[in-house]
Chain A
Amino acid sequence: MVEIRWHSRAGQGAVTGAKGLGDVVSTTGKQVQAFALYGSAKRGAAMRAYNRIDDEQIINHEKFMRPDYVLVIDPALAYTDDITANDKSTTKYIITSHKAKDELISEIPTLQDKSDRVFVVDCIDISLKTIGRAIPNSPMLGAFVKISGMFELDYFLDRMKKVLSKFPQKIIDSNMDAITTAYNEVK
């Protein structure tokens, strides 16, 4: 079982990202779960989304999770949200930030003993440059593909195109661009 926790603000696409990841994973024959804790969420409120991935049917419906991956798609939440809650000694963090990894870690005490498991990518900047809006979910998927090694990039892009097939070609292309850029830039 692989468990993923997304830290996001309502409207940044964490739920869509989690479901998109689920869509792709399901095509590999694996079982997935994607859900979110919304709060009575308004746009901008902090929220969390979750994925579970397994070979067996997933019958665990608890919200409690000890994540294998923590994906932070809002730069400020790395500071204000408890992103290391219920983590494990192997939990990997992918954080969106315009800052360099060392600088970011130096500012967040809970990450300081985890520097080998922290990865940084500027999803906001990438989404602005590729998609034209601050929707950091697609770039985060690219970074996740790289760090997790769960898929080859080309395979993921191919499946993601099918998931997005109902959108105009321009949107599909820009999302592919965002995923690829983040895949290459995450450190």
Chain B
Amino acid sequence: MAEKYDLQEVEVWDGNYAAAHALRQAQVDVVAAYPITPSTPIVENYGLFVANGYVDGEFVMVESEHAAMSGCVGAAAAGGRVATATSSQGFALMAEVLYQASGMRLPIVLTVVNRALASPLNVRGDHSDMYLGRDSGWIQLDAFNAQEAYDMTLCAFKIGEDASVRLPVMVHQDGFITSHTAQNTNPLQDEEAYAFVGEYQTYQEMLDFSKPVTYGAQTEEDWHFEHKAKQHKALMDSRAIIDDVFEAFEKKTGREYKRVESYMMEDAEVAIVALGATVETCRLAAQQLRAEEGIKVGVVAPRCFRPFPFDKVREALSDVKTVCCMDRSSPGGAMGALFNEVSAALYSTKNRPLVTNYIYGLGGRDFSVEEAKRIMREQKAHADAGYITTAIQQFSGLRGPKLGFFETNRR
């Protein structure tokens, strides 16, 4: 039996340490890892917890992130509760195996500390890696601060392992901004946390010798499509389970989570849509702008990036005049992913608000409250004019001549 860890009611934890404690409290059986900045302390601390008797598990050091996720796939198929952590280049190297994990319906938890992708090399936070995972068939939950990194990681096990879901889950937090920022965190006591997550329920585990199974079969055009469709349906249907788990979590902790988080949206005319720690910075900007200038601005944030909450995004934004989607990833010759998906959701609404796109914060570039307020004022100007008065895609916090793409045809 693992030893109980002595926890205060309030701990000052950064996002990494919070996630590591969630892995410990879930009593993860196997962590196969190849540590990478800024997610290193998650698996490092799990290893420390194992060494000090605080978790009954195995820490497996492997030779690459590809091997790390492969080890996780093997251990999960064998019948264990499995997790690991990665970032950036490591995430990219894992990419192939991410699809294997979801296709085999293995409820692995991957704590992703978001970081920019090279080149040029950069260790800081942006959402390039998170976006890289968006078609991989994983559930993707997004934490905006250290407390949420802890909460979402606990929820991730319960969601992914649900009998009707059985899908892997990523829990995202922003590199450094969340992962290395210590804040007040309220952990559950060990036994409460474990009771919430629950005993691991195996399903078709390879180590059940009474029922040998084959994992990783080949299917060609006669079968592949049906399997992928079934997998997609499981991912879409997980929305209801995510809602249930969030509700159960609220009952336990009083902390309320929704697939789409709306802030000051009741009477909002202008909405900002964002992910990660930026959500909170935007909330602060919205508070200030409402108090100082009376602009009715609200903030909408997909807590659950996959399955994309098409339904809830549409609900949250149906009554506003303008929506600005903040994408923290270089879009590589397109509009930002959040812009595309939010726009698609809003296209089938009666109101069809004006939607604009900002690319910001690449490679960890600071996103300030003042800049958030500037963007909100600009959206208000669109709302007043009745059309988008700037380029549809712009860049925030970028040095050099103003950069923007595409003008509106709705004047």
Contacts and interface: CB of A to CB of B under 8 A. Distances in A.
The answer to whether A and B come from one shared complex is: yes
Interface of A: 18-19, 22-23, 26-27, 31-36, 38, 40, 57-64
A22 B366 contact: no
Interface string B176-191: 1110111110000000
Contact of A23 (B12, B176, B180, B181): B12
Interface in B258-308: 277-278, 280-281, 283-284
B408 interface: no
B257 interface: no
Nearest to A165: B6
Interface string B382-409: 0000000000000000000000000000
A26 B283 contact: no
Contacts of A32: 12, 182-184
Contacts of B278: 61
Given A23-B12, A61-B367, 7 more contacts: A19-B182, A26-B184, A31-B183, A59-B281, A59-B284, A61-B281, A63-B366
The 5 lowest CB-CB distance pairs between A and B, nearest first, are A59-B280, A35-B181, A61-B277, A34-B182, A62-B368
B375 interface: no
A22 B283 CA distance: 23
A35 B277 CA distance: 13
Nearest to B277: A61
Contact of A62 (B10, B12, B145, B281): B281
Contacts of B184: 26, 31-32, 57
A61 B281 CA distance: 6
Nearest to B146: A33
A35 B281 contact: no
Contacts of A22: 12, 182-183
Nearest to B123: A40
A34 B145 CA distance: 12
Contacts of B177: 35, 61, 63
A49 to B, nearest CB: 10
Interface string B355-382: 0000000000011111000000000000
Contacts of B182: 18-19, 22, 32-35
Contacts of A26: 10-12, 184
A27 B11 CA distance: 9
Interface string B1-31: 0000000001110100000000000000000
B263 to A, nearest CB: 10
Nearest to B278: A61
Contacts of B180: 35-36, 38
13 contacts: A33-B182, A33-B183, A34-B181, A35-B14, A35-B177, A36-B180, A58-B183, A59-B145, A59-B280, A60-B281, A60-B284, A60-B369, A62-B369
A134 B64 CA distance: 38
Contacts of A63: 177, 366
Contacts of A36: 180
Nearest to A51: B182
Contacts of B14: 35
Contacts of B183: 22, 31-34, 58
A19 B277 contact: no
Contacts of A19: 12, 182
Contacts of B145: 59, 61
